[in-house]
Every structure is written in structure tokens, then in C-alpha cells.
Amino acid sequence: MRIGVVGAGILGLAVARELTARGAEVTVLDKEDQVGTHQTGHNSGVVHAGIYYQPGSLKARLCRDGVALLREYCAEHKLPYEEVGKLVIASNRSELAGMQRIAARAVENGVPGIAVLDALGLREIEPHAVGVGAVYSPHTAIADFPAIARSLAASLDVRLEQPVRAIRETASGVEVLAGRTRFAFDRLVSCAGLGTDRVAAMAGQPGEVRIVPFRGEYLRLTGAAKGLVRGLIYPVPDPRYPFLGVHLTKRIDGEVLVGPNAVMALALEGYSWSKVSFRDLRGIAAWPGTRRMAVQHWRTGLREVYGSLAKRTFLKAARRYVPSLTKEDLARTEGGVRAQAVARDGSLLDDFAIDTHGPIVLVRNAPSPAATSSLAIARHIVDAIL
């Protein structure tokens, strides 16, 4: 069986690897000149343990399965993987109830080693952090997702600089025009991330959600300030949003990130304020869900825009947990863009969303923890189509 995969991010490559392992002939198509260019190459590198997600959801199940598979893959291929631990800190007493809900959800999801700590207990884990309590996940890890993507790609037929231009179902499967080459496949799997809507439209399956790009901007700690954070320090998240809020994240390269915020980008690949695509904006604005989302959350949106322009907003958020930080400890660094699916009613999809239409599989929503879950998502998809 010949199967095409659109998208050479970590998820598309994981799907291709799983298909190949089961005997399919697989070709991966991507418009960029290297693998893992977008969400895979622009994230914090956290291997999420599964503490946040709704029990019984795809995210909850596939995250836990994905952690085990990813840890095993990194060990087999000698790729870095380090369990640094995560604290989800309640900064004041009003957040304690939310913290306890996170702890209960983590236990229900089968996350190992979960502990609820008081103010003194959390300082034993992170001596420079403060709060009234915390949930501790000792097995939350960090990894190098771009390196994992390159490792996955090494044994696959990956065709780079081959943008998909047309898709047509045929009597025997799917025909794809990529670059100037026509490919004939029995099945097609789209893991196109920020390009999801364009691929879906070419396939004649626009669906009931659309991708709205949210840019996540980061600062990094400089000099001796990097020593103030041992692992991962997160806030108690706002349950209204699928974003986790500004946090402090140790990376596999030793850097420590502060962020991200969540600002609606001005292009699907809008990694900065200067990157504007009127074509993308027209498509985003035309979706009724975008307008309804804006009406519901305009105050939060304005706060995020202000925070994007003012370094002191990041500093204030970080000092809630590490009060010894100063403005001089922070420097700008690159961020990323999250491909967030938004429904017609303006709600932001929280769970993974995967649709099948005849010979075409469309991954509609695969934000964090998709990198963590990638090998498990791949098994889930391949189980359904083979």
C-alpha cells in the first residue's frame, strides 16, 4: 500500500515511521527545506507527563502512552531525555482549589509520583521559588524535539521543498500534486499543522473548525539567573483556555525560558509582529468562530498584546514564582506559533481532533502535547487506517 503524509513535523514523521513499520510504502511531503521547521522546531522542549488533560480524552490517554514511547525511542537512539520535574505552583490561597483539581486530575490520568507540597516542600525542589503550595510531577521531562524529528526522518522517504498544490480523490485512492510532481497514493494523511486548513480545502473537506495561529513569545534567563531554576515552574492554569500561562522552563541545552504568552498572530507563520499576511488574515477573519472568539475574549486578547510589547509584563509574571529575578536577567529569544483549532461557536478545541474522509485522514487539531504524544498519536492513526 502506498501512503502519502503531508507535513514533516514530528507528528507527520512519527506517522510515516509507524506506517513503514507495518509494511506500507510511505512518502512524506513538506514545503520547507528541512524537517521540523514550525511547531516542532519552536517549542520549549517539555515532555508533558499528562497532568492537565481531561480524563478519558485523547490528550490524556495518548500523552501517557506517548511519554513511554518517546522515552524508549530516545534511549534506543541515544537522544537526550532528562526528567527534571515540574512544579505547578499556587501563588496565593485563591489558587489552592485549582491546584488540588490539577493534582486529582493527574492521579486519575495515571501520572506517576504526583505529590502535593506546601510552601516549604516546594522550596526543597526549587529553592528560589515561592508559593503557598504546589503539585509536583517528578517525571516530567525535557527533550530535543528537532533532534528527534531528524532521527525519525533519517530512515524515511522525505521529499522537502515539495509544497502540496492540489489533491484529488480517484477511483483507486488519492492523487497529489506537490511541487511539479504528481503522486498516486492509496491513502493520504495530513499532519500539516499551520497549513491544515489549506490542505483540508484542497481535499474538499473544510470541516467545522479552522486554525487560528497564536504566537507564543519567550524571554530567556541570562548569566547567573539561569541557576535560579532547576526544572520546570508552571502556574495553575486558567481552565477557560488551553494555554498554560507564562512559566519558567529549563531546556535540554541549559537555557531557561520565560513564557509563552498567547497573541493572535498576523499570519499563519507569523513568528513576529513584522510578519503579516493579508491572505492569511482574510481567511482567519472570514471564519465566524474567529469573530465569536474575539467577542468572548477581547479583554484577555488586549492584555496579551500589551504583554507582548512590554518586557516588564513577563518579569511580573515570572517574579510571582521566582521573586529574585530582575529586568536585567531577561533577554528576548525566538518564540513559536501554535496551530489552534477554533470551532464555529468561537470555542477553542482542547482535545486532539482527527477526521477520516474516505482515503484521506486529516489531523485537525494537534497542539501541545502533540510532540510528547507523537508516537502514540501515530499508532492511533495507523490502527484506524490499516
| Domain ranges for the chain | 1-81+142-208+350-385
Asked if pLDDT for residue 242 goes beyond 90, the answer is no
Tell me the CATH class for 1-81+142-208+350-385.
alpha beta
Long-range contacts of 65-71 (CB under 8 A, 24+ apart): 65/373, 65/376, 65/379, 66/369, 66/372, 66/373, 66/374, 66/375, 66/376, 66/377, 67/139, 67/141, 67/372, 69/375, 69/376, 69/379, 70/143, 70/148, 70/372, 70/374, 70/375, 71/47, 71/141
Averaged pLDDT, 59-88: 98
Asked if pLDDT for residue 64 goes beyond 60, the answer is yes
Averaged pLDDT, 116-137: 98
R_g (Cα) of the chain, nearest Å: 21
- The backbone torsions φ and ψ at residue 309, rounded to the nearest 5 degrees and listed phi first, read -90, -15
With CA atoms as reference, report the closest residue to 235 among 64, 99, 66, 81.
99
Return d(Cα 202, Cα 6) in angstroms, integer.
12
**Residue 97, number of CB atoms within 10 A of its CB:** 11
Instruction: Produce one character per residue of 137-175: b if its CB has 16 or more CB atoms within 10 Å, e if not.
Output: bbbbbbbbbbbbbbbbbeebebbbebebeebeeeeebbb
Averaged pLDDT, 242-249: 77
Write out the three cell numbers for 239: 481552565
Q: Mean pLDDT across the chain, nearest whole number?
A: 94
The residue with greater pLDDT, 310 or 172, is: 172
Four-point Cα dihedral 18, 19, 20, 24, nearest 10: 170
pLDDT at residue number 259: 85
Averaged pLDDT, 109-116: 97
Question: Is 14 within 8 Å of 378 (Cβ atoms)?
Answer: yes
Averaged pLDDT, 215-221: 92
pLDDT at residue number 306: 57
Averaged pLDDT, 43-54: 94
pLDDT at residue number 352: 97
Asked if pLDDT for residue 134 goes beyond 80, the answer is yes
Asked if pLDDT for residue 218 goes beyond 70, the answer is yes
Tell me which of 85-94, 153-162, 311-320, 334-343 is least confident. Answer: 311-320
Asked if pLDDT for residue 221 goes beyond 70, the answer is yes
> For 203-214, what is each residue's pLDDT tens digit?
999 999 999 999
Averaged pLDDT, 47-55: 95
Averaged pLDDT, 82-100: 96
Write out the three cell numbers for 383: 490502527
With CA atoms as reference, report the closest residue to 267 among 307, 221, 228, 211.
211
The residue with greater pLDDT, 324 or 242, is: 324
pLDDT at residue number 386: 87
> For 144-174, what is each residue's pLDDT tens digit?
999 999 999 999 999 999 999 999 999 999 9
Q: Which residues make beta-bridge pairs with 309?
A: none
Averaged pLDDT, 68-88: 98
pLDDT at residue number 68: 98
pLDDT at residue number 261: 85
The residue type at 156:
L
Confidence of residue 25 (pLDDT cuts 50, 70, 90): very high
> For 284-305, what is each residue's pLDDT tens digit?
999 999 999 999 876 677 666 6
The residue with greater pLDDT, 327 or 314, is: 327
Tell me which of 6-20, 113-127, 321-335 is least confident. Answer: 321-335
With H, G, I as helix, E, B as strand and everything else as coil, classify residue 322: coil
Confidence of residue 92 (pLDDT cuts 50, 70, 90): very high
Averaged pLDDT, 67-92: 98
